Amino acid sequence: MSHDTTITLEFSFKGNTYKPSLSIDLEKWMRDGGNPDQLHHLLAESIGFGPYSHEYDVLMMSEIEFSSDDEWVEQFINQGRLDLNACKAAWHEQQESNAVIRIAEKHLSSDQLKDPAIRQALIACYRSGQQKPQKKIMAEDFFL
- pLDDT by residue (tens digit) across 20-47? 999 999 888 888 888 888 999 999 999 9
Indicate if 60 and 106 belong to the same structural domain.
no
Domain range holding 95? 91-133
Kindly compute the dihedral angle of the four CA atoms of residues 9, 13, 18, 19, in this order, to the nearest 10 degrees: 10
Indicate if 19 and 76 belong to the same structural domain.
yes
Residue 34 lies in a domain: yes
Range in 27-36, 52-61, 64-73, 117-126 with the lowest mean pLDDT: 117-126
Residue 71 lies in a domain: yes
Q: What is the pTM of this model?
A: 0.72
Indicate if 110 and 69 belong to the same structural domain.
no
Phi, psi at residue 65, to the nearest 5°? -105, 135
How much is the pLDDT for 99? 81
Bridge-based pairing of strands 4-8 and 65-67 is antiparallel
pLDDT band at residue 141 under the 50/70/90 scheme:
low
pLDDT at 133 over 80: no
Indicate if 71 and 120 belong to the same structural domain.
no
Please state, rounded to an integer, the average pLDDT across all residues of the chain.
Answer: 85
pLDDT band at residue 144 under the 50/70/90 scheme:
very low
Indicate if 62 and 95 belong to the same structural domain.
no
